[in-house]
Structure 1
Amino acid sequence: MKNKEKIHHHNHDNNPPHGHMGHDHHKMMIEDFKKRFWVSTILSVPVLLLSPMIQEFFSFQLIFKGNLYVLFALSSFIFFYGGWPFLKGLFSEIKKGAPGMMTLIAIAITVAYVYSSAVVFGLEGKMFFWELVTLIDIMLVGHWIEMKSVLGASKALELLVSMMPAEAHKVHGDHIEDVKVEDLKKDDIILIKPGEKVPADGIIIEGESYLNESMLTGESKPVKKTIDDEVIGGAINGNGSLKVKVKHTGKESYLNKVITLVQEAQKTKSKTQHLADKAARWLTYIALTVGITTLAIWLLLGYDFTFALERMVTVMVISCPHALGLAIPLVVAISTAVSAQNGLLIRNRTAFENSRKISAIVFDKTGTLTKGDFGVTRYESVTDKFSKDEVLKLASALEQSSEHPIAIGIVKKIKDLQIAIPKAKNFNAITGKGVEAKVEGYDVKVVSPGFLKDENINIPKSAYSNAAETVVFVIIDNELAGYIALADEIRPESFGAIKKFKENN
């Protein structure tokens, strides 16, 4: 029977991202904090203008019939709407038996609101509505910025997710069926064609090829894979076809484990954040103790209850540190965002904070000090029939449609030289060895050193140098015509970075 294949264009956008629902929930929470902040801030303006203490401080008057009731209504809305996340956080922290920042904020705004409301309805004293609304506004913006930074860092995860193809070629006996990646099961047999992405972790049972795992491991040089070797989902296959037995899918896959590690790191708190929570817990105890002590002392000194109560509320409201509630989220936000923008995925926040104590750095060369992609370093002709540029041109015709890193490097070089790439006909992949095609009437092959050994063709001594290079050979009409050496190029900023590290040590 003939093999039956369904050809589909892979659409990576159809592949649901890892933790998609959690990601959307996080976005909704950000929008919620953003909305609460802007609504509360806009309503805080009339609250400030109507507050007697602000009017006295700036020497102006804004008094009309029922102005205190308007002030109470606006402040009530901000307290319940803007302060709701902190009130909810208070109950959550008390339930866990670990009062922290939310408890401290909630106590401060509740004391300010209840006391100020009592003043509006007849109790003697000063109102703290302006303190209440500004405290809520500041805390809302702090938490909004922090949550935005975490979402920004998770965009790095989306890049990892996009590496997985949407479909796989599942082998059913003598025919092949395209199925969704999420439908794959352990021990399924899948076919991976040249240039395609590996859809799942597995073990090769047939074929050999070179795989680009640079986005997963940082190693830019294609890794040779043969029977019984493991392949990682998300890697890019070279010029060979592979049959792979699926080993891990879904949550068990290598890529998803990496994503899970980063997601868990984003949820964990650093040493500084735990210290801030500890400080907030003690400040809560201190605020309550000092507040009650203040009330008791003024009463013992013979002052009336309303006078003593006003002093107690003042102490408890002032004890809530605006700076602590805003500074910690800002530090986390900025450090997380800047790290993500520079490709640094933080697995452990405490370890990240301790990085300030680093005294020595050991670099991985590939993809760190180097660009992580291949560039042509040398190319030569070994025959009088073709010039070096003609050898490169004919080779580029075979490589122009391939996703292989070596092919990309060759095509990039020919484009840099502004040489037109000819068309290739009768293209064929030589399993695990290279590719061949008809170009401008010539039979052209771009092959590995292994092919030359198999065909008993002598490798020119000049083909290899002391540099860490990958060399491919060009055969034209069954005769060795030249070679192309490629290497991972050094990043232009590497020298400056190492120099700066040495200066700072």
Structure 2
Amino acid sequence: MSALDVELEIGGMTCASCANRVERKLNKLPGVEATVNYATEKARVRSDGVDARELVAAVKAAGYTATLPAPPAAAPLAAAPRESARSSASGVDPARASSRPSEGAADPTPAPDRGSRMLLRRLVVSGALALPVALMSMVPALQFTSWQWVALVLATPVVVWGAWPFHRAAAVNARHGAATMDTLISVGVLAAYGWSLYALVFGSAGEPGMHMSFSLIGTPEGGSGEIYLEVASAVTVFILAGRYIESRAKRSSAEALRALLSLAAKDASVLRDGVEQRVPASALRVGDLIVVRPGEKIAADGVVVEGASAVDTSLVTGESVPVEVSAGSRVIGATLVVGGRLVVEATRVGADTELARMGRLLEEAQTGKAQVQRLADRVSGVFVPVVMVLAVVAFAGWLLAGASLEVAFTAGVATLIIACPCALGLATPTALLVGTGRGSQLGILLRGPQVLEQTRRVDTIVLDKTGTVTTGEMSVREVVPATGARGASAPAGVSAADLIAIAAAVEEGSEHPVARAIVRAAATDLPRVEGFEAHTGFGVQGVVGGRAVVAGRLSWLAEEWRIDTGALAPHAAELEADGATVVAVAAEGVALGLIAVADTVKITSARAIEELRALGLTPVLLTGDNPGAAAFAARAVGIDEVRAGVTPAGKLDAIRSLQREGRVVSMAGDGVNDAAALAAADLGLAMGDGTDAAIAAGDITIVGSDLRTAATAIRLARATLGIIKGNLFWAFAYNAAAIPLAMLGLLNPLLAGAAMAFSSVFVVTNSLRLRRFR
């Protein structure tokens, strides 16, 4: 049997340890290499000699569900036109058909997130029921006659229905001999509720007029007169809140791929039998002639067979300057035509296009990204079994000491209850909520707790150029009148301002981004142009103030218009070596000078690099732009290491290469071509004014375009992680300190409740320190 690469969708995982268990189970099969990602709930498996059914069976044997992704919805490419015709004949709306994913790509749109909605419903209902229980239990003035029975009625739905996800997960783990935080939560909640029920029915707690005792140290015999309903309810609500926050963070994991694939053209104009017709992009075939007009996206990869235009390829290459294409030029699907009309012969369609390939790169990067296992789960791997053993020891110890069954049971149950992680449920969510709230005020969005741990260890930050270090917008960098070009002569009175004005006047009729930059740099009142004519890919001409003016490529002026540009050529070569686009201007057959247009370095980028270096990070510039433009930007901001002319796949390879060198890498970018690299980096920083695909792939989103905020984001993430670790330490410490008292039978319910309340208050107060973050 040949090697099989398959992706399984895993269900039933509740924590990172579940993903580890599934991964170990799969890797025990002969010839299987598996990676399970808890965040995306997917397993990527390479197997030799094991078919998909055996893989699914292995996952089910571990106590989880596994399914193969649904087959693609699109019809086979060869049959696409006939399928389209049948759809039309049967009344299917072609517009709807065009919104389907391209062939070979799984539908990235998730089914309605019933899990998150159910969690939210459980949280809201449980919180509403638990609040009066807690108030009645902790405020003596509210303890009316038979209040305890009302508390029981309110707490029962919380314990049974609200905490059901924890009970179910604990049962699954128990069947496979494992214990996680779900086990401790379930056992603690059920123990608190069970003992309360016992005390109400068989003890003295159910008597009318019962009040909760406030003595700090109780007696073992007093256990049957106390109830723990507020503990069972509060723990359930706190843990549900934490799980809901985590669920929302996980839900965004598919947004990067969805945003990327949404950039593809939905339909296209195709020439068939000499007739132009509009068809869904999914119906395109190799060899189709696609008509693309200005402002439209190219629907497939192909070769230009007719026409000439400027094409904005920044989507794929990161190049800020549109590329001039004409007959014979290769073009990429989803790029934007900004000039003239093109006729493109499709060479790659559907799953073979560059955009689809980038989608696969992004999905592979996300699936292969090692998610940091949450600290609480790691500690609980030791803490949970130890607590359960101590509870059994306490129970057995009292029995062996000759105490009654009631005393022994009270000590054992109290040990479980005091260990129940009330503050632990708040430790991560409160710090994350306060940290993200403060971050939103500073223009920083943290995706979730899983992104924080890497910020402490990050030592390298890789920066995209266009849109991250630079503005991504063309502007005039330099104006060189002919008299300033190494002694060349020019008509008297032609200054830099005159040169810009003349060029802007003739360029005003063009929609090319370079022309728009020249017009923006000129004065508002421009001379009137007559006889305007654009020569796509070369330049423009017109009559300005009675003089024939041409502006465009230096070689075009020399070859087509026989203008002497020799004196300007060396300076033009220098400007082009720095990545600028050079426009030569001439009037009445005489060269007037040069205008250099280029992407602009942000004024805050140099300061941002200094701040990142101060955090111990080494900056690396990684761009699809040409080496000249990259070197110019790097010099301007103080970056020593530059990698230019890199494709999207090359960016992903560069990140992994740095990681293989032992570096912990952060990546900052804003384009679709950065999405896979952002997902593969240990910490992805997406600039918020970039594309949806980049934002969804990043771990941290920087709202706006100021790179200095990236340094602030790393500082905030590190501070939030420190608070979370402090919270987790104290959450366990309070419980651990009270366990000996519980085992000795000296812990009454209110002391347990007070200890939990105090630990919770400490955790919340500690988290609120993040509000003062600067």
> TM-score, with normalisation over the residues of structure 2?
0.52
- 1:64 is the counterpart of 2:64: no
Deviation digits for residues 97-144 of structure 1, max 9, x if unmatched?
764333332332233233323333325353221111111221122222
Contact 2:235-2:421 at 8 Å conserved across structures: no
For 1:25, the equivalent position in structure 2 comes to: 112
Contact 1:197-1:236 at 8 Å conserved across structures: yes
- The 5 Å alignment of 1:402-413 reads 402=511, 404-413=512-521
Distance 2:289 2:445 in 1: 35
Amino acid at match of 2:109: M
Contact 1:425-1:437 at 8 Å conserved across structures: yes
Deviation digits for residues 218-243 of structure 1, max 9, x if unmatched?
33233455666654333223435444
For 1:500, the equivalent position in structure 2 comes to: 611
Structure 1 residue matching 2:188: 3-state secondary structure: helix
Amino acid at match of 1:167: D
Which of residues 501, 505, 519 in structure 2 aligns to 1:394?
A: 505
- The 5 Å alignment of 1:26-65 reads 26=113, 29-51=115-137, 54-55=138-139, 59-65=140-146
Structure 2 residue matching 1:25: 3-state secondary structure: coil
C-alpha spacing 1:268/1:274, structure 2 compared with 1 (3 Å) = farther
Offset of residue 497 of structure 1 = 0.9
Deviation digits for residues 383-423 of structure 1, max 9, x if unmatched?
75983243243244223xx3x54244334434xx4346979
C-alpha spacing 1:135/1:173, structure 2 compared with 1 (3 Å) = same
C-alpha spacing 1:99/1:422, structure 2 compared with 1 (3 Å) = farther
Offset of residue 273 of structure 1 = 2.1
Contact 1:205-1:243 at 8 Å conserved across structures: yes
Distance 1:344 1:255 in 2: 27
Contact 2:505-2:519 at 8 Å conserved across structures: no
Structure 2 residue matching 1:410: 3-state secondary structure: helix
C-alpha spacing 1:148/1:324, structure 2 compared with 1 (3 Å) = same
Offset of residue 369 of structure 1 = 2.0
Structure 2 residue matching 1:21: 3-state secondary structure: coil
Structure 2 residue matching 1:273: 3-state secondary structure: coil
For 2:267, the equivalent position in structure 1 comes to: 167
- The 5 Å alignment of 1:112-191 reads 112-123=192-203, 124=224, 126-150=226-250, 160-161=260-261, 163-191=263-291
Structure 1 residue matching 2:237: 3-state secondary structure: helix
Contact 1:283-1:319 at 8 Å conserved across structures: no
- The 5 Å alignment of 1:418-429 reads 418-419=524-525
C-alpha spacing 1:223/1:72, structure 2 compared with 1 (3 Å) = same
C-alpha spacing 1:356/1:281, structure 2 compared with 1 (3 Å) = closer
Contact 1:240-1:432 at 8 Å conserved across structures: no
Deviation digits for residues 340-385 of structure 1, max 9, x if unmatched?
x769999xx78x8445334454545443321222112234666759
Contact 2:436-2:444 at 8 Å conserved across structures: no
> TM-score, with normalisation over the residues of structure 1?
0.76
Structure 2 residue matching 1:196: 3-state secondary structure: coil
For 1:109, the equivalent position in structure 2 comes to: 189
Deviation digits for residues 271-298 of structure 1, max 9, x if unmatched?
5425543433333322322222221112
For 1:8, the equivalent position in structure 2 comes to: none
- 1:302 is the counterpart of 2:399: no
Offset of residue 253 of structure 1 = 4.2
After TM superposition, the structure 1 stretch with the greater mean CA deviation from structure 2, 359-368 or 434-443, is 434-443
Offset of residue 268 of structure 1 = 7.8
Offset of residue 321 of structure 1 = 2.8
C-alpha spacing 1:203/1:500, structure 2 compared with 1 (3 Å) = same
Structure 2 residue matching 1:375: 3-state secondary structure: strand
For 1:367, the equivalent position in structure 2 comes to: 467
Amino acid at match of 2:144: I
Amino acid at match of 1:76: T
Distance 2:343 2:605 in 1: 40
Contact 2:271-2:291 at 8 Å conserved across structures: yes
Deviation digits for residues 309-348 of structure 1, max 9, x if unmatched?
2222222233233444444566778689969x769999xx
Q: Percent identity?
A: 27
Distance 2:405 2:459 in 1: 60
- The 5 Å alignment of 1:450-461 reads 450-452=555-557, 454-455=559-560, 456-459=562-565, 460-461=568-569
Contact 2:463-2:469 at 8 Å conserved across structures: yes
Distance 1:367 1:446 in 2: 28
Contact 1:239-1:435 at 8 Å conserved across structures: no
Contact 1:168-1:181 at 8 Å conserved across structures: yes
Contact 1:299-1:308 at 8 Å conserved across structures: yes
Structure 1 residue matching 2:143: 3-state secondary structure: coil
Distance 2:318 2:476 in 1: 20
Distance 1:83 1:332 in 2: 23
Contact 1:212-1:235 at 8 Å conserved across structures: yes
Deviation digits for residues 15-34 of structure 1, max 9, x if unmatched?
57995631x634x5444433
Amino acid at match of 1:171: L
Structure 2 residue matching 1:60: 3-state secondary structure: helix
- 1:490 is the counterpart of 2:578: no
C-alpha spacing 1:342/1:64, structure 2 compared with 1 (3 Å) = closer
Offset of residue 490 of structure 1 = 0.7
Distance 2:445 2:305 in 1: 35
Contact 1:394-1:444 at 8 Å conserved across structures: no
Amino acid at match of 1:49: L
Deviation digits for residues 21-71 of structure 1, max 9, x if unmatched?
31x634x544443333233222222111333xx24xxx4351224x33321
Give the number of equivalent residue pairs.
476
Amino acid at match of 2:412: M
C-alpha spacing 1:148/1:40, structure 2 compared with 1 (3 Å) = same
Contact 2:199-2:225 at 8 Å conserved across structures: yes
Query: Which ranges in structure 1 are unaligned for 5 or more consecutive residues?
Result: 1-10
Distance 2:365 2:198 in 1: 45
Distance 1:421 1:272 in 2: 62
